Structure 1
Amino acid sequence: MRKLSMVALSLVLLLTACAPNFQKQEEVVQKKDDDTKEKAIIPKYKISDEYYRTIMPFEPGEARGMVVNNLNTRYDITEFETGLMRIAQNSFSTDQYVFKEGQYLDGDTVTSWLNRKMTDAQVKAKEEELKKKTKKTKVTVDNPGLNPADPGTGDVHERNKKNPIYLAHILEHDYLVKVGGEKGTYQLGGVAIGLAMNSVHYYTKEKYGAVYEKNISRAVLEREGKKMAQEVVNRLRGIKELSNVPITVGLFEQQSKSSVVPGNFFAYAEVSQGSNNIGSWKDVKEEYILFPSDQAQKDHRDDLTFFQNFKQDVETYFPNFNGVIGKGFYLDGQLQELNINIPIQFYGKAEAIGFTQYVTGLVMEHFPSYVSVQVNISSVMGPEALIVKKPDQDEPFVHIYQ
């Protein structure tokens, strides 16, 4: 018998049973970079082994919020951050390490690294400008930009096609590890760095003119990303606190501004403690696929077939409805998760409940047992129901929003 949480009391009981027990927490000492120590708290409750615990009190990252401005879509923003955590788990176990937002790359540093490299002529012009402003006879201009230089002369289209902006954002995650006893000290044990690469370079001829696009192939992104990664590691080693910790670097390909699925990490490398050398790169075989789509038809026909069968059965309930959209997450070519959105207009709560029960049966009937499926049913009033089926689960979790 399928379980429907249909009244407020059941929701309260559910939240009571599943909420973290904040009385169960670990008081520890956090060792700072200047050898000072301060008390910190690490909650003992952890949602699952897929997530890191976070040290408290929470310290915002030095470049907090920049990812929102630098990436194209909210899908890429979410996946870039959560994907970097998955990459980090290859190097830093969730059982031994705790998460902390990046504390060493501030906003100004990240911005300067994302700039274009200046040409010699541009550096000289900048120096002359500073001399006039400061009335000094000698000035030094930093030139840390990692993206290709733009000479600033010639046809704008040719310049942008030849020298596109490859690197969109740099994200730092810090991982602390215990170095003492049961109530021991935590200190920095490793750093994960994500480089978000552009699959599409957008540019204009004038400030408020038409926007043009330059597609960038995965092969080019990989080549340029690996070169940039080595330079980033060299610079991180120049930061005193990061001179001797393991570093993991991941390359992320973000999608276009019009995409309804996120990009994905496609390679990562581990740099051992105290080393500047990036050894061998490892492929990350992750991918998001939209259902239905031409790509799903081309690369995942069997998965598209059971999705289409599900979609058709949903549409028999409301014959004029065709809004079932799915997003599949693939790992090593195998479908792992399928998130389905069904936006529909209901004319009463009883109708929403009946439809949810019908869809729940379709979920159990159509999808393979090894796939994790989540169905979000919504209306113009907001979320109506949530259906979650975990792999090899006999009964799904179903929640009706009140």
Structure 2
Amino acid sequence: MRAVKWISSIVAVIVLISALVFFGNFFSKNSSSVSNTHNNKTAPATTKSNSKKGIQVTSKNDNSSYQTVIKDGRYLTSKARGVTASQESNTFNQVSFEDGLLNFSKEHFSTSKYIFQEGQFLTTNQANEWLSRQSDDNKDGLNPRDNGKFNNERNPIYLQSIEEQDFMTKEGNNLKLHGIVLGLAMNTQDTYQKEQYGANFTQDISKDDRIQQGQRMADEIVKRYRNINGINRDTPIYVVMYAQAKDDSLAGGNFYSWNVSKTGDSLSNWTNIDNQTVVLPMQESTTDDKSVSAKLNSSFVNFSNNIEGFFPNLSSVTGQASYDGNNLKGLIISVSTQFYSATEIESFANYIAQSAPNYLPSGVPIKIKIEASTGMQAYLTKSADSDKYKVTILGSY
């Protein structure tokens, strides 16, 4: 009898252990499944890219873009990105400055030969010091000392921001620096306050004064870069000068000259850049049937009318066209809408992708942003060598 009870106890223990193992595996599998579903992924939590150490480069879809740098599984961001001398009130300036600088770089560093790396030599602390006023506490300030005046005799802030782009080649597992492009954004108008939290005042900066101050600063910046560890004496350093638009402008500014230091710390002769930015739709007072942008303005108006007919609850459709002389270099369009439905946004974006080639120019890069008061909802892009628009819906799965 005792033997039977003993055997029964052993069987019960075995059954209990089996049940625990079964349910333990069951809950473990389901817990993993819930985690992956929540992240909308089927891959393990630790991805292959995040486990990589060292330097890698991205792939690219076409020859119009650069391969970029990844370090330890993450995109290598600029060390001084976003540092400005004062608050940037005109967001158009930032877009046209960064896009135009990259287009300039493509003319001097081939996308098929070089790898693009966000600026890694100028640090955030250095950028803050350089963009500040010179003072007893800051000998490295590039903007002039505060002379204490509050009228047109005051010393304005000339240099608003510095953008660095590095161009590399891959040699084995390492990257080698082959050139640097520096964009210097110069103010055409300085906004200031006579007292903290007080009213804003503006001071216009003459063209001659801006150019003279910009060239002086460019010389000094190149000398400082030559002293940074990792930059050789014969590494080409290109400097591109950009005139910021005023705060109330509906378009960004323009690049107006460039120079290069091929060796040493001196710059050669400056080369003028004939750039201009046109806001679309153009005002009737500025529209000339013979002007370069008149045909584009007409096409843009037809495009706007077409999409407003499809979705009549649009707030506005505006554009920013960039020209190099008489040649259109690119177009950015902003569509403001009140859409909230995901299906509305997707239908509208797809409609734009189908109709845009019938109205907008070919042979140039175009970006179309669809925005609401809550932020950007979608964007469309096309490269210069294609008429097909790629649609990206933000927040979709």
What TM-score comes out, normalization by structure 2 length? 0.70
- Identify which of 230, 243, 246 aligns with 1:256: 246
CA distance in 1, matches of 2:249, 2:230: 39
Instruction: Report the counterpart of residue 96 of structure 1 in structure 2.
Output: 113
Counterpart among 272, 277, 290 of residue 266 in structure 2 = 277
1:32 is matched with which residue? none
Instruction: State the Cα distance separating 1:279 from its structure 2 match.
Output: 0.9
What does residue 30 of structure 1 align with?
none
Structure 1 distance, partners of 2:312, 2:274, is 38
SS in 2 for 1:149: coil
Which AA in structure 2 matches 1:143?
K
Cα offset, 1:225, TM superposition? 0.9
* AA matched with 1:309: N
Distance 1:54 1:297 in 2: 41
State the aligned residue count. 339
Asked whether the equivalents of residues 161 and 185 of structure 2 are also in contact (C-alpha less than 8 Å), the reply is yes
Cα deviation, 1:60-92, whole Å, max 9, x if unaligned, reads: 443244259654344333443343333333433
Match of 2:127 in 1: 110
> Shift of residue 293 of structure 1?
3.3
Cα separation, partners in 2 of 1:320 and 1:231, compared to 1, 3 Å? closer
Quote the Cα distance in structure 2 between the aligned partners of 1:397 and 1:290.
Answer: 24
Tell me, yes or no, if the aligned pair for 1:201 and 1:215 is still in contact at 8 Å. Answer: yes
1:338-389 CA-to-partner distances (Å, cap 9, x unmatched) read 3333334569788777766765665344334445555445567877776656
Name the SS of the counterpart of 1:143 in structure 2.
Answer: coil
Q: Distance in 2 between matches of 1:400 and 1:185?
A: 36
Which residue of 262, 269, 282 maps to 1:293? Answer: 282
Superposition RMSD on alpha carbons, in Å?
Answer: 3.8
The answer for the alignment partner of 1:363 in structure 2 is 356
Residues 362 and 85 (structure 1), Cα distance of their counterparts in 2 relative to 1, 3 Å cut: closer
Task: Quickly say closer, same or farther: Cα 1:225–1:317, change in 2 above 3 A.
Answer: same
Counterpart code for 1:157: N
1: CA distance, partners of 2:237 / 2:64: 20
Which residue of 56, 80, 105 corresponds with 2:97? 80
Is the Cα–Cα contact under 8 Å of residues 286 and 329 in structure 1 kept in the other structure? yes
Which of 151, 165, 170 in structure 2 is aligned with 1:157? Answer: 151
Distance 1:285 1:158 in 2: 29
Distance in 2, Cα, partners of 1:204 & 1:393: 48
Checking the alignment, whether the CA contact within 8 Å between 1:72 and 1:255 is kept in structure 2 is no
Matched with 1:42 is 57
Within a 5 Å distance, the mapping from 1:94-243 to structure 2 comes to 94-118=111-135, 123=136, 143-152=139-148, 155-160=149-154, 163-178=155-170, 180=171, 183=172, 185-243=174-232
Q: Which structure has the greater CA radius of gyration?
A: 2
Alignment counterpart, residue 54 of structure 1, candidates 53, 64, 68: 68
Q: Distance in 2 between matches of 1:359 and 1:173?
A: 33
Q: 2:196 and 2:62 mapped to 1: Cα distance?
A: 48
C-alpha separation in 1, matches of 2:130 and 2:212: 18
Matched residue SS, 1:241:
coil
The verdict on how the C-alpha distance between 1:40 and 1:68 changes in structure 2, with shifts beyond 3 A counting, is farther
Q: Distance in 1 between matches of 2:82 and 2:380?
A: 32
Rounded to whole Å, the distance in 2 between the matches of 1:211 and 1:269 is 35
Secondary structure in 2 matching 1:174:
strand
Matched residue, 1:13? none
1:248-297 per-residue CA deviation (whole Å, 9 max, x = no partner) reads: 11112222333343323222211113x22211222333333221133862
